[in-house]
Amino acid sequence: MAKTAKLKKKPASANSRASRRAESPSLNLDKSTTSVKPPVDDAAARPAVLGAQNAGISKRKKQKPMSRQQRLRHQKGLERADIVIDKTEKKIAKSAIKGKVFKERS
């Protein structure tokens, strides 16, 4: 059997798990800073914060009514959704019954 070379010691990567688990700098925190309280954050005082709640991408509303074909397609999709909901409810009920039977056995 041939001998294998010894592995070289590599310096620990800064992104490695071990380096991330190293002591937190907050452990050696100066005690004088712990007594200072943070400023009070009042969202009502800043209207910019309240305005950001409704910001974002919103779907455009359609201007014209759906065509006959679109309306039929939409109705068909809604009917399919109802069928899927019914099937799911049946499956959940059946699963609950099976779970009860299983618990009774054990």
pLDDT tens per residue, range 20-62: 776 666 666 666 666 777 777 665 666 666 666 666 777 777 7
Report the alpha-carbon distance of residue 19 to residue 17 in Å, rounded. Answer: 6
State the pTM of this model: 0.38
The answer to whether 19 and 13 are in contact (CB under 8 A) is: yes
Locate 2 and state its tokens: 């041939």
How confident is the model at residue 88, as a pLDDT? 95
Report the alpha-carbon distance of residue 70 to residue 76 in Å, rounded. Answer: 10
pLDDT bracket for residue 90 (50, 70, 90)? very high
The four Cα atoms 90, 93, 97, 102 give a dihedral, to 10 degrees, of 100
How confident is the model at residue 89, as a pLDDT? 96
